[in-house]
Chains A and B, each alone.
Chain A
């Protein structure tokens, strides 16, 4: 249906279908009746709390459950003595406790509350008869219903009036059964573990044991934290009450756990030998390993607990003469930050600077040595010397140019190039003529002659335009300047020269 939350209890009726999964605990079945009885023993108290409003008792003002516990405590405390507590004394005592709960200091209301509680425990609504509850034993065949009747308090006649007695059930449950640390998660895990072992659910027991291990590790970590903070500051932990209690709890825990784990290990080990199912044997073996590892955790915790006191003594010795720590555990946001936001700017600046100046720590003052100061003041002004640039030495101008051609090469090349003064000559012819030069004539530099002739032809083909003012040079330069070259469309192919064939001619001859 749209717009309405789903009804969580609207589920498919599967009661007619055969059950595929059966999760039952034989150990739980065995103790179900006993646990049910313990549960119903608390019902009279729940009932008197539930009905208190009808009698004008304010459950918000009076903690009726605690008053009920006090009534049973007082009744039990007087049992066995020559003078047992009377009904009037019991009501007065409970009323005294109730008055402490009521800020109005209304003694009438307190007495009414005490009476209501005692009446409830006596089952006064049913003429102080026994409380009767019915247990449905569905495990029996055939199924049957059992009545369970009990009293919590009863009245007995005595010379001093009606005296109050607590029943065995009240003693067992309210004094003994409820005297446990229901918030002890590790003990709870231990109980679960024992139950799983009784049910032969070894894999589940292994997981539970690992959870129990984590609880032990947490306890060891807490202890380590206390020890570390004590090393830092002996006053960071309460060594008068809290830490000794923790250490005692840890020692007790270790003792109990080592014994219990040893018992479980023995139990499982003995089962392994007799077990024929391989899966169960494997799970049992894993569980034993887990429990042995957990035992190491417990022993580690024991050593931490044993060494903690020594840490305290060493820390005390070390810190006794030290400056008192002024650690101020303030709530910065509530006590400083929010108030300063609402202050005027001038006031806020004062507070902010007071905080900031201290947070920023310190500065290191610059201290100038007197001698250094005098030296500094008397030191002559520093002269900045100009940077001397050393000009690059061009070298001797009279030296022969390393890249220049020798005169005999120039002479040979000039002679060859002059062939073009009279008629156009192909470059091939000039190169061949250069190649045919007598090596002795040019000092063996025949290749230089070829190169010079080739360069001259190329220069004639693509001459550099002389800059205005450049004076014409004599010799080969003048000769080359008078040459012209054109591509013939053919190619030249010599070992040192190849490419387009050029026809070299003299411009002076043409003109």
Chain B
């Protein structure tokens, strides 16, 4: 089967749909038709994968509800750093808390390894997640017996633990900047911006639904790279 220029254009269109977080495939719309073609035609699928690879992108999967999920290869022009996000001027502690929250969302949503292979919808609520993180900190502190008094060796858990769970805003409802509930809301906002989560107001004002994109990102790249970073850090701490 030969590939026509029209096919290449369609493949590029599908990749561009993957780059638009707001695009949603349906049965009849152009996105849905291209997605169906990707899932049913091997040649077209290969073409899309190769095209994406040329852009430094990787197709992670094509969940029916989410559409084509792409992520970046290392060094891609599309690669996103935490510093590119909407919260500018983040202090090191803010970045650390954001990283903890992101990991906690994954840990909270996928308590078992098999959950990462399930397309079940996961619901996240800000206060519940904050409680989950604080209980994990308590559990870890009880296990390690580390009181964290050494300022040089201050644990990540201490940074989170010493931050207030909730600070009220002056004139309106919701948590103010500087508390952990605000940080959780901020990270969930990032995920919403990236198409990895959706607000679920019917379940509560501060409730979010994680998308398949989030699951695939955790299972496919995020978990692996974080594990590698963890191992590297441990190796370095052992040698020093």
Chain B, Cβ-Cβ closest to A350: B229
Residue A489 interfacial (CB < 8 Å) = no
| A358 B219 Cβ-Cβ under 8 A | no
Chain A, Cβ-Cβ closest to B46: A321
Residue A368 interfacial (CB < 8 Å) = no
Chain A, Cβ-Cβ closest to B40: A318
Residue A364 interfacial (CB < 8 Å) = yes
The stretch of A172-180, A322-330, A381-389, A461-469 that contacts the partner chain: A322-330
| B156 A335 Cβ-Cβ under 8 A | no
Given A330-B227, A354-B226, A360-B194, A341-B220 contact (CB < 8 Å): no
Which chain B residues border A328 with CB–CB below 8 Å? Answer: 116, 219-220, 223-224, 227
| A340 B156 Cβ-Cβ under 8 A | yes
Question: B residues 97-154 with Cβ under 8 Å of A?
Answer: 98-100, 102-104, 106-108, 110-114, 116-117, 136-137, 139-140, 144, 146, 152-154
Residue B76 interfacial (CB < 8 Å) = yes
Complex alpha-carbon distance, A358 and B85, angstroms: 13
Which chain B residues border A331 with CB–CB below 8 Å? Answer: 111-113
Given A337-B107, A356-B98, A358-B222, A343-B155 contact (CB < 8 Å): yes
Given A340-B103, A345-B155, A362-B46 contact (CB < 8 Å): no
Residue A79 interfacial (CB < 8 Å) = no
Interface string of A329-358 (1 = CB under 8 A from B): 111110111111111110111111111111
Main secondary structure of the interface of B (DSSP, over half): helix
Chain A, Cβ-Cβ closest to B215: A327
Given A360-B85, A360-B194, A347-B228 contact (CB < 8 Å): no
Given A341-B136, A342-B144, A350-B233, A362-B100 contact (CB < 8 Å): no
Across the interface, B99 reaches (CB within 8 A) one of A335, A338, A348, A363, namely A348
| A359 B92 Cβ-Cβ under 8 A | no
Least Cβ–Cβ distance between B123 and chain A, in angstroms:
16
Which chain A residues border B68 with CB–CB below 8 Å? Answer: none
| A354 B228 Cβ-Cβ under 8 A | yes
Main secondary structure of the interface of A (DSSP, over half): helix
| B116 A330 Cβ-Cβ under 8 A | yes
Complex alpha-carbon distance, A326 and B46, angstroms: 17
Across the interface, B220 reaches (CB within 8 A) one of A318, A326, A343, namely A326
| A343 B156 Cβ-Cβ under 8 A | yes
Which chain A residues border B59 with CB–CB below 8 Å? Answer: 323
Complex alpha-carbon distance, A200 and B99, angstroms: 66
| A348 B219 Cβ-Cβ under 8 A | no
Chain B, Cβ-Cβ closest to A354: B229
Least Cβ–Cβ distance between A134 and chain B, in angstroms:
52
Which chain B residues border A358 with CB–CB below 8 Å? Answer: 71, 217, 221-222, 225-226
Residue B237 interfacial (CB < 8 Å) = yes
Given A327-B220, A331-B112, A361-B107 contact (CB < 8 Å): no
Question: B residues 36-91 with Cβ under 8 Å of A?
Answer: 39-40, 42, 45-46, 49, 57-59, 61, 70-72, 76-82, 84-85
| B214 A359 Cβ-Cβ under 8 A | yes
Which chain B residues border A365 with CB–CB below 8 Å? Answer: 77-78
Given A327-B219, A362-B79, A345-B190 contact (CB < 8 Å): no
| B49 A341 Cβ-Cβ under 8 A | no
Residue B159 interfacial (CB < 8 Å) = yes
Which chain B residues border A245 with CB–CB below 8 Å? Answer: none
Least Cβ–Cβ distance between B52 and chain A, in angstroms:
10
Complex alpha-carbon distance, A50 and B227, angstroms: 50
Chain A, Cβ-Cβ closest to B39: A318
Report the contact-size class of chain B (Cβ under 8 Å from the partner).
35 or more
Least Cβ–Cβ distance between A344 and chain B, in angstroms:
5
Which chain B residues border A359 with CB–CB below 8 Å? Answer: 102, 106, 191, 196, 214, 217-218, 222
Residue B176 interfacial (CB < 8 Å) = no
Residue A236 interfacial (CB < 8 Å) = yes
Residue A260 interfacial (CB < 8 Å) = no
Which chain A residues border B110 with CB–CB below 8 Å? Answer: 332
Complex alpha-carbon distance, A320 and B42, angstroms: 9
| A342 B19 Cβ-Cβ under 8 A | no
Which chain B residues border A340 with CB–CB below 8 Å? Answer: 99-100, 103, 156, 230
Question: B residues 185-240 with Cβ under 8 Å of A?
Answer: 190-191, 194-196, 213-214, 216-230, 233, 237
| A336 B226 Cβ-Cβ under 8 A | yes
Least Cβ–Cβ distance between B160 and chain A, in angstroms:
8
| B77 A355 Cβ-Cβ under 8 A | no
Across the interface, B113 reaches (CB within 8 A) one of A232, A236, A329, A338, namely A329
Given A328-B219, A337-B104, A345-B159, A361-B229 contact (CB < 8 Å): no
| A336 B223 Cβ-Cβ under 8 A | yes
Residue A317 interfacial (CB < 8 Å) = yes
Residue B93 interfacial (CB < 8 Å) = yes
Which chain A residues border B99 with CB–CB below 8 Å? Answer: 340, 348-349, 351-353, 355-356
Residue B157 interfacial (CB < 8 Å) = yes
Given A332-B106, A332-B223, A349-B99, A327-B154 contact (CB < 8 Å): no
Complex alpha-carbon distance, A360 and B220, angstroms: 13
Residue B95 interfacial (CB < 8 Å) = yes
Across the interface, A345 reaches (CB within 8 A) one of B78, B93, B113, namely B93
Residue B179 interfacial (CB < 8 Å) = no
Interface string of B153-177 (1 = CB under 8 A from A): 1111101100000000000000000
| A335 B227 Cβ-Cβ under 8 A | yes
A322-B45, A361-B70 are known; give 6 further A-B pairs, CB within 8 A.
A329-B116, A340-B100, A345-B159, A358-B217, A363-B78, A363-B79
Q: 9 closest pairs, A vs B, by CB?
A: A352-B99, A348-B156, A355-B226, A333-B107, A362-B78, A329-B113, A354-B229, A341-B157, A337-B107
Return 29 A-B CB contacts under 8 Å, by A number.
A236-B117, A318-B39, A328-B223, A330-B116, A332-B107, A333-B136, A336-B106, A337-B100, A340-B103, A341-B136, A341-B155, A342-B144, A342-B156, A343-B156, A344-B153, A345-B154, A347-B233, A350-B229, A352-B95, A352-B103, A354-B225, A356-B82, A359-B218, A360-B85, A360-B194, A362-B78, A363-B79, A363-B80, A363-B84
B residues with a Cβ closer than 8 A to A are 19, 39-40, 42, 45-46, 49, 57-59, 61, 70-72, 76-82, 84-85, 92-93, 95-96, 98-100, 102-104, 106-108, 110-114, 116-117, 136-137, 139-140, 144, 146, 152-157, 159-160, 190-191, 194-196, 213-214, 216-230, 233, 237
